């Protein structure tokens, strides 16, 4: 668990007023709009969906011009992002920073009417899994982007920040023990000081699901907001959920290092719905509604009891995300890939989520294992492996949405996933002697065999798909030659 703190302050009144202004500007919930989908919805469709749901803020992971164009005059506040792989260039070249700001911020504000409020410099750059790759470039990149914003006349209008994972701080027992991680302590203080000097917020991503995922002994109820029966008492402050304890660990870490009044943005918070035994619709609805009920009521944490600024993670499922952290990574969306809501959720403006409109689907057909196919064929394993490597099989596994399928069902799911990702073209259902196209929906119970939406992704990714299909055809030829 982690914490945060407060301390010396030159211009304390200014920061308090800034925090109050920040709260006033961002009363509505925000969402993260990720784009790692094989078949993304049109940006205009997503913007309409955001507005239909009363979502007032969006956090992006880059500065995609198509998305920013769609956000013109939408009334939606925007946080644009700079990917980690750009930090080195921006840290070492003021000219590159100015060019980035001119192209991705100034141009959209001045001519396009895009309400850009923040630039997120990097994304969780100090994750321990990065082995320090971005330690030397994050702060210089942050400084150069800030200077470029000032030079562009946007220093007061657009603020810099660095979305950080909650692993940048830690505590031994209770939130009040909190401080920044030892290996990056001095760097974190430098970053916080720079943010403070520029009236910029600290952005943190908090994931109670990860606590549950990484520790089989973690008390399940402590991950939610329903009143844990064995709360933590930290010098009279009661913590009955891990979100509050984690958040206030950061508050104490800031306070101990002299920045107790720094505004905090919760850059990512949410719960996945598939890909792990604790990732399901019931838990996701329980967590997100619990969080939203508190958010709508303006209830903060014991150390920060007022309204908070937060972005739900995430808007849509992303079937092309890396699954290195876990299969759940592709299932954080409040909505499925096609903009259909997963469950009832009151986010403040309406009683439930509003689906995307005007979504076009491919034909109602699926690729499945032939009823006559031999499961003992030596062609089964490599075919399934190939399909899953080039599509999305993260709904298969122990206690997932498709965890109850038998062997034939698992194979069919893999084949169909590949078939749909490749826009149902005939050659994507040519697994050697194993597959067949059907117009009968093979979905069963909670396990849905998807039909892909119509997009221009076939054109955008055409070359890669052609190579995939060539490999499938080569596999077919190879296994045919091997057959007696």
SS3 82: strand
**Nearest 5°: phi and psi at 278?**
-95, 0
Rounded to the nearest angstrom, the gap between the alpha carbon of residue 92 and the centroid of all alpha carbons in its chain is 28
**Nearest 5°: phi and psi at 149?**
-65, -40
Rounded CA gap, 92 and 84, in Å? Answer: 14
- 124 in active site: yes
Among residues 124, 214, 282, 329, the one annotated as catalytic is 124
pLDDT tens, N- to C-terminus, the chain (484 residues):
333 333 333 343 333 334 333 333 345 899 999 999 999 999 999 999 999 999 999 999 999 999 999 999 999 999 999 999 999 999 999 999 999 999 999 999 987 799 999 999 999 999 989 999 999 999 999 999 999 999 999 999 999 999 999 999 999 999 999 999 999 999 999 999 999 999 999 999 999 999 999 999 999 999 999 879 999 999 999 999 999 999 999 999 999 999 999 999 999 999 999 999 999 999 999 999 999 999 999 999 999 999 999 999 999 999 999 999 999 999 999 999 999 999 999 998 777 999 999 999 999 999 999 999 999 999 999 999 999 999 999 999 999 999 999 999 999 999 999 999 999 999 999 999 999 999 999 999 999 999 999 987 544 444 444 445 445 445 544 444 444 4
What is the value of pTM for the model shown?
0.89
Question: Which residues are CB-contacts of 105 (< 8 A; sequence separation ≥ 6)?
Answer: 63, 80, 116, 119, 149, 152, 154, 158
User: How much is the pLDDT for 56?
Assistant: 95
SS3 343: coil
User: How much is the pLDDT for 27?
Assistant: 57
Q: Compute how many other C-beta atoms are within 10 angstroms of the C-beta atom of residue 227.
A: 9
Among residues 2, 214, 268, 329, the one annotated as catalytic is 268
SS3 122: coil
Compute the 3-state secondary structure of the chain and give helix, strand, coil in percent, each to the nearest 5.
40, 15, 45
The residues facing 366 across adjacent strands are 438
User: How much is the pLDDT for 458?
Assistant: 46
Query: In 55-178, which residue ranges form alpha helices assigned H by DSSP?
Result: 65-70, 87-92, 94-101, 107-110, 138-151
| DSSP at 1 | -
Q: Is 413 in contact with 396 (CB distance < 8 Å)?
A: yes
User: How much is the pLDDT for 6?
Assistant: 35
Q: Is 74 in contact with 50 (CB distance < 8 Å)?
A: yes
| Cα end-to-end span (Å), the chain | 61
In Å, how far are 73, 115, 338, 351, 358 from 46, measured between CA atoms?
14, 17, 10, 20, 11
Rounded CA gap, 289 and 276, in Å? Answer: 20
> Residue 237: in which H helix or E strand, if any?
strand 237-239
Reference 434, options 450, 449, 414; nearest CA is 414
Rounded CA gap, 113 and 47, in Å? Answer: 14
- 268 in active site: yes
User: How much is the pLDDT for 456?
Assistant: 74
Reference 76, options 43, 122, 42; nearest CA is 43
Rounded CA gap, 6 and 252, in Å? Answer: 6
| DSSP at 34 | -
Transcribe 190-218 into DSSP letters: HHHHHHHHTT--EEEE--HHHHHHH-TTS
> Residue 464: in which H helix or E strand, if any?
helix 462-482
């Amino acid at each position: 668990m982690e914490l945060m703190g407060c301390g010396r302050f030159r211009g304390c009144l200014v920061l308090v007023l800034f925090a109050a202004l920040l709260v006033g500007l961002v009363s509505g919930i925000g969402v993260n709009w990720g784009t790692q989908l094989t078949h993304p919805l049109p940006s205009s469709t997503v913007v309409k969906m955001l507005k239909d749901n009363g979502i007032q803020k969006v956090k992006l992971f880059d500065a995609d011009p198509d998305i920013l164009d769609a956000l013109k005059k939408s009334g939606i506040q925007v946080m644009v992002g700079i990917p980690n792989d750009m930090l080195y260039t921006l840290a070492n070249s003021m000219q590159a920073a100015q060019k980035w700001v001119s192209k991705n911020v100034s141009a959209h504000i001045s001519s396009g009417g895009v309400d850009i409020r923040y630039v997120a410099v990097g994304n969780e750059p100090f994750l321990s899994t990065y082995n320090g790759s971005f330690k030397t470039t994050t702060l210089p990149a942050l400084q150069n982007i800030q200077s470029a914003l000032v030079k562009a006349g946007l220093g007061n209008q657009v603020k810099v920040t660095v979305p950080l994972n909650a692993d940048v701080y830690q505590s031994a027992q209770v939130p009040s023990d909190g401080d920044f991680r030892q290996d990056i302590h001095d760097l974190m203080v430098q970053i916080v000081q720079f943010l403070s000097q520029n009236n910029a917020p600290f952005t943190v991503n908090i994931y109670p699901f990860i606590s549950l995922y990484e520790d089989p002994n973690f008390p399940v109820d402590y991950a939610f907001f329903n009143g844990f029966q064995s709360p933590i008492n930290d010098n009279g402050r009661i913590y009955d959920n891990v979100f509050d304890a984690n958040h206030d660990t950061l508050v104490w870490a800031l306070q101990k290092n002299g920045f107790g009044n720094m505004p905090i943005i919760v850059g990512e918070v949410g719960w996945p719905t598939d890909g792990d035994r604790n990732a399901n619709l019931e838990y996701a609805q329980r967590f997100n509604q619990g969080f939203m009920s508190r958010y709508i009521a303006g209830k903060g944490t014991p150390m920060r009891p007022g309204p908070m600024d937060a972005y739900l993670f995430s808007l849509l499922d992303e079937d092309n995300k890396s699954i290195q952290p876990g299969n759940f990574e592709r299932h954080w969306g409040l909505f499925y890939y096609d903009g259909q809501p997963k469950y009832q959720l009151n986010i403040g403006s309406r009683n439930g989520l509003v689906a995307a409109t005007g979504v076009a689907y491919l034909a109602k057909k699926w690729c499945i294992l032939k009823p006559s196919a031999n499961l003992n064929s030596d062609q089964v394993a490599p075919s399934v492996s190939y399909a899953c490597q080039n599509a999305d099989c993260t709904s298969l596994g122990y206690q997932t949405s498709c965890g109850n399928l038998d062997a034939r069902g698992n194979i069919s799911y893999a084949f169909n996933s590949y078939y749909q990702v490749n826009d149902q073209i005939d050659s994507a259902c040519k697994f050697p002697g194993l597959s067949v196209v059907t117009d009968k929906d093979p979905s069963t119970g909670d396990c849905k065999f998807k039909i892909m939406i119509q997009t221009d992704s076939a054109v955008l990714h055409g070359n890669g798909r052609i190579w995939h299909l060539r490999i499938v055809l080569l596999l077919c030829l190879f296994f045919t030659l091997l057959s007696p």
